Amino acid sequence: MSRTRTASQNDARAIINKLAIYTLTVALFGMLLLPIYWLVVTSFKPLEDIFVVPPQFWPKNFTFKNYLAQSDPRLVQFFVNSLIVSVSSAVASTFAGALCAYAISRFQFRNKNALLLFFLAAMAFPVPLLMITMYGTFLKLGLLDTYAALILGTTATGLPLSVWLITNFINQIPVDMEEAALLDGASPFKVLIHVVLPMIRPGLAASAIFVFITSWNEIIMGLTFVSSPELRTLPAGITLTFLGEFEGDWSEMMALAVLVTLPVFVLFALTQKAVLKGMTAGALK
């Protein structure tokens, strides 16, 4: 009888603990989503409803006026510029990172571990300090106020993450498959292109997505390396062109923020499996 009572008490405690964990998880998740929810809801409110007391958690006067107001052709140009820079940076950083990661993973040379630690430390290096050297280099090469400056800058900042991430994926591939290709006469570069890269597609996708999102949100380089309005990316273009025009119109500002965030949200939703696999690469063998 006592054993049955003890077992039921343990079951009740386990249920209570699970409920407490689930409640805490939902509460924390709700706190994380609250700013995003408030951003979206505010974008559908007229300006006079934003500062009412008590606040409206759902718009009473639902309107699309704030989105229809975002018809400036400059926004389309900024969007295209961000797309060009982000895609180019993601491809360049991922490809260069794959070459470097393959060399670190498969070739034996002195200070290999130190090089890998250097890439890890570079991810914590302040970007503004790197931009000082970049600016001088781009100035001498005549690359300022061009797409190349933005692409090279964001590629350089995303390369350490690509190297570290892809190295973990390559380390999990058996060397026997590459040795068989080498015995068949393939060069190391062909082995990388035709054998290794197809097997680490989740890692390549995760690397490209991370660099794409970083490039899409980059504002400091867009304000520093580019001065022509027609070359500005979305963050820099909105900051220099539209924030003054809003004059406190928070509704239109929130609508514009939703439009800027939406492509990244859709991309992450479509590729979340690759991103999660990339984040946990090397954690379990």
Residue identified by tokens 């290999």 is: 112
Q: How confident is the model at residue 154, as a pLDDT?
A: 92
Average pLDDT (256-280) is 75
Quote the CA–CA distance of 134 and 132 in Å, as a whole number. Answer: 5
Q: How confident is the model at residue 82, as a pLDDT?
A: 92
> How far is residue 193 CA from its own chain's centroid?
25
Q: Using one digit for the tens of pLDDT, what is the confidence trace for 189-223? A: 888 888 888 888 888 888 898 899 889 988 889 88
| Sign for the pseudo-dihedral over CA of 213, 215, 221, 223 | negative
Q: Using one digit for the tens of pLDDT, what is the confidence trace for 80-120? A: 999 999 999 999 999 999 988 888 888 887 887 788 788 87
Q: How confident is the model at residue 284, as a pLDDT?
A: 45
Mapped to the 3 state alphabet, what secondary structure does 30-49 carry?
HHHHHHHHHHHHHHCCCHHH
Q: How confident is the model at residue 243, as a pLDDT?
A: 67
Instruction: For residue 70, give the DSSP letter.
Output: -
* Structure tokens that stand for 38 in this block: 């408030």
Q: Using one digit for the tens of pLDDT, what is the confidence trace for 11-65? A: 677 788 888 888 898 888 888 888 888 888 888 888 888 888 888 888 888 888 8
When the pLDDT of each residue in the chain is averaged and rounded to a whole number, the result is 83
Q: How confident is the model at residue 3, as a pLDDT?
A: 57
> How far is residue 101 CA from its own chain's centroid?
20
| 76 pLDDT more than 90 | no
CB 216 within 8 A of CB 262: no
State whether CATH 1.10.3720.10 applies to domain 71-279: yes
Q: How confident is the model at residue 285, as a pLDDT?
A: 42
Provide the residue ranges of all domains of the chain, joining segments of one domain with +. Answer: 2-65, 71-279
Instruction: Give the Cα-Cα-Cα angle 131, 80, 66 (nearest 5 degrees).
Output: 105
CB 188 within 8 A of CB 124: no
Query: Whole-angstrom distance between the N-terminal and C-terminal Cα of the chain?
Result: 45
Which of 100, 113, 152 minimizes the C-alpha distance to 130? 152
